[in-house]
Amino acid sequence: MKKGEIMGLEMRQKLSEAWVRRKLRGDGQHTEETKLKISLKKKGKPISSYPHMYKGKRHHWFGRNASGDKNPSWKGGSEFWKKDNKRNDPAYQAWRMKVWMRDNFKCRIVNDDCEGRIEAHHILGWTKFVELRYEINNGITLCHAHHPRKRAEEKRLIPVFQGMVSVSR
């Protein structure tokens, strides 16, 4: 039968009879004969060849008690997942606020494209220039539209941003 095709009377009758047989048998239960066939077929095969039996159970192949630190995939509990995020540091937040205040909470590239929230952008990168992380003159306020999206764009704009910041000193 194809999608969208109307079911004929004969087909409806066959489906109805199948439903009745299924209900009499016990709502989808296998007959004893079918259960015996399935059992005989599975005998002698390793459990790993039946992954559908372990649906929803994680790492069943490591054994029954392989949860927590006994599991070879254990990474160390909830402490492993906590990020050591330096940008939540009070020193970073103070730096950001000082940069925003210096730039009057406005994007330094003022034109019609300005839109979105303002961001304090490090002119010389956060990771490469660790000693300049909290230097106010290493920051510039940009709107979301003007914030560089790629490293290459960021590198190209470093002299432009440095010129803008040196003017405001």
In a domain, 12, yes or no: no
Structure tokens at 7: 């079911």
pLDDT greater than 90 at residue 1: no
Whole-model pTM? 0.48
What pLDDT digit, counting tens, does each position of 15-34 carry?
Answer: 888 888 777 766 667 778 88
**Dihedral angle at the C-alpha atoms of 160, 86, 117, 143, nearest 10 degrees?**
0
In a domain, 123, yes or no: yes
CA triplet 125, 126, 127: central angle to 5 degrees?
95
User: What domain range includes position 110?
Assistant: 86-168
Count of domains observed in the chain: 1
Name the percent of the chain lying above pLDDT 70: 76
In a domain, 81, yes or no: no
In a domain, 69, yes or no: no
